[in-house]
A and B are shown apart, each in its own frame.
Chain A
Amino acid sequence: MAEERESMEYDVVIVGAGPAGLSAAIRLKQISPDLTIAVLEKGAEAGAHILSGAVIDPVALNDLIPDWKARGAPIETEVTKDEYLFLGPAGSAALPSFLMPPLMHNHGNYVVSLGMVTRWLATQAEELGVEIYPGFPASELVFDESGAVKGVVAGVFGVARDGHKKGDYQPGMELHGKYVLIAEGARGSLAKQLLARFDLGAESEPQKFGIGLKELWEVPQERHRPGLVQHCVGWPLDDKTGGGAFIYHWGDRLVSIGYVVHLNYRNPWLSPFDEFQRFKQHPIVRPTLEGGKRLAYGGRAITEGGLQSVPKLTFPGGR
């Protein structure tokens, strides 16, 4: 049964305050400053749920906010050295970078915390008048009589574990838009419903994923090589299991280290977490971390299907 809820009308409702959702919000306001835009975010603040390597190519940001440097974007560590390593249990071999096609080179890219970049993007959006609602997950889609997406439900609070409504129960709000943009990131829960309802994947291959795990370390000064970017494949995964590691030196003695395992692995006994922990003991990795301190840990699925898996991108009422 649909519940009586208050509703609010916007020109555009965006689900997800990540790089995609915020870029959409900023672009909308740049084109048409009078548009009313709401961005819903399930995290306690914009950026709280963002986890990425990350080496970013600033090409899209140059287009969106050309003066990002002057506006204080937290994008400071330029890539200075790019290494590709193939690991065995005890040793490693570097792949010469001239073998890599130009698209693989990291020149002109930056090592960042994507969470910090996202927080900064949120301030840029708010300056333009975008309304961002952190702590408000879009939990349900709302359809109009014709079956088009009309909006989302957000901000349902106070339901107990057994389903009964607690004293502080809030039914949430309906946010309606002329268009609704879904920008939840990999395997979004509303996107999953839309894919099924509108059969958006009919013409494409199944989406493929990886799981990315990451730790942030503070390392001793003498181990820190700002701008060094290393990518490793091979050990500890066997040759049939896809994945690899990244090690990025940036900021003030910070190292972002992470491991990606492609989720099409066959052996159900595999534990991506333990592969990552084991990887850090490799003689080429361990010395970087020794004497350092682990500051943060997290993980996120990432889409890997590429061209073949891009579904139909639009549905009645949005994209």
Chain B
Amino acid sequence: MNVPRIKGTHNAMRSGMMAAEAAAAAIAAGRMRDELTDYQDGYATSAVRKELVKVRNAKPLLSRFGTSIGGFLGILDMWTTTLLGGFSLFGTLKHGKSDAEATESASKHKKIEYPKPDGVISFDKSSSVYLSNTNHEEDQPVHLKLTDPSVPIRVNLPEYGEPARLYCPVGVYEVLYDDDGSNPRFQINAQNCIHCKTCDIKDPSQNINWVTPEGGGGPNYPMM
């Protein structure tokens, strides 16, 4: 995706078309199951790559300098790459850490108090899940697999406040307690999942593996 432009569909389509062209040529030449090196080589000179070159520093600048200064530098940098054939004063900045690694300890941050939804403009998660039309056969293996089932309560809860409860946009993950507030347990409401894959990406312990559930499960978006 081109981050500052928030557009990726045209590049997804272009890469699909490029892969198709490489595969069709290989099959016509009687090849099969080798590497489609033409596709890899084609990418190097493609419109997709040319576009990504121009905006390559926009996201790293935001990550380093924040929205105001990083955004300003990003605009400046895109002018430079546009006018100077891809040249940037910054060269090519690195992203550094993965998103999971970027998560800091809960004790270093203040808890955020969010306003209660008014039910008119803002809503809670459960009424929102309903509008995603998501559904899964309940009697099937949980498709959000924990590599180590003890990690959410043993590591994530004390260290990060188990952020799965917050980053999951449909409330799949909950920490349940006894009435006296003891005995925390991790619960996965897999049937609510909308296949966004955020947990697989953001879990600081990289302990959640999203696998495909039974066919037909997941959201049913009409016009999204």
Contacts and interface: CB of A to CB of B under 8 A. Distances in A.
A23 B37 contact: no
Interface string B30-45: 0111111101100100
A47 B141 CA distance: 25
Report the interface size class on chain A.
Answer: 35 or more
Contacts of A263: 99, 102, 167, 198, 201-202
A19 interface: yes
A35 B24 contact: yes
B138 to A, nearest CB: 7
B17 interface: yes
Interface string A253-279: 010100010111111111111100110
B176 interface: no
B115 interface: yes
Given A264-B97, A268-B204, A274-B166, 20 more contacts: A20-B16, A24-B17, A42-B195, A42-B213, A48-B218, A59-B10, A137-B214, A146-B33, A148-B34, A179-B32, A205-B96, A209-B198, A234-B67, A242-B63, A271-B112, A273-B169, A274-B112, A298-B132, A308-B60, A314-B39
A304 B110 CA distance: 27
Given A20-B13, A309-B95, A155 B215 contact: yes
Contacts of B14: 23, 60, 63
A56 B6 CA distance: 10
Given A159-B141, A183-B16, A209-B201, A277 B220 contact: no
18 contacts: A31-B24, A42-B215, A52-B224, A101-B78, A104-B78, A179-B23, A179-B36, A208-B98, A239-B66, A240-B67, A264-B99, A266-B109, A272-B167, A296-B224, A303-B1, A308-B93, A313-B40, A319-B36
B92 interface: yes
Interface stretch (B121-129, B147-155, B178-186): B121-129
B201 A187 contact: yes
A175 interface: no
A101 B17 contact: no
Given A11-B27, A264-B97, A307 B216 contact: no
Contacts, number: 415
Contact of A315 (B2, B35, B47, B122): B35
Given A116-B223, A187-B200, A269-B110, A22 B16 contact: yes
A297 B132 CA distance: 5
Interface residues of B, number: 127
Interface string B164-200: 0011011000000000000000000000001111101
Given A48-B219, A296-B224, A269 B63 contact: no
Given A42-B195, A63-B17, A268 B161 contact: yes
B59 A148 contact: no
Contacts of B9: 19, 52, 54, 56-57, 60, 114
A209 to B, nearest CB: 5
Given A28-B20, A101-B82, A269 B224 contact: no
A2 interface: no
A296 B131 contact: yes
Interface in B75-132: 75, 78-79, 82, 92-99, 102-106, 108-112, 114-115, 117-118, 120-123, 125, 128-129, 131-132
B63 A187 contact: no
Interface in A163-183: 163, 166, 178-179, 181, 183
Given A25-B20, A208-B99, A306-B3, A314 B128 contact: no
B66 A103 contact: no
B223 A178 contact: no
Interface in A1-53: 11-12, 18-28, 31-32, 35, 42-44, 47-53
A301 B196 contact: yes
B223 to A, nearest CB: 4
B127 to A, nearest CB: 8
Given A32-B27, A59-B10, A304 B59 contact: yes
A298 to B, nearest CB: 5
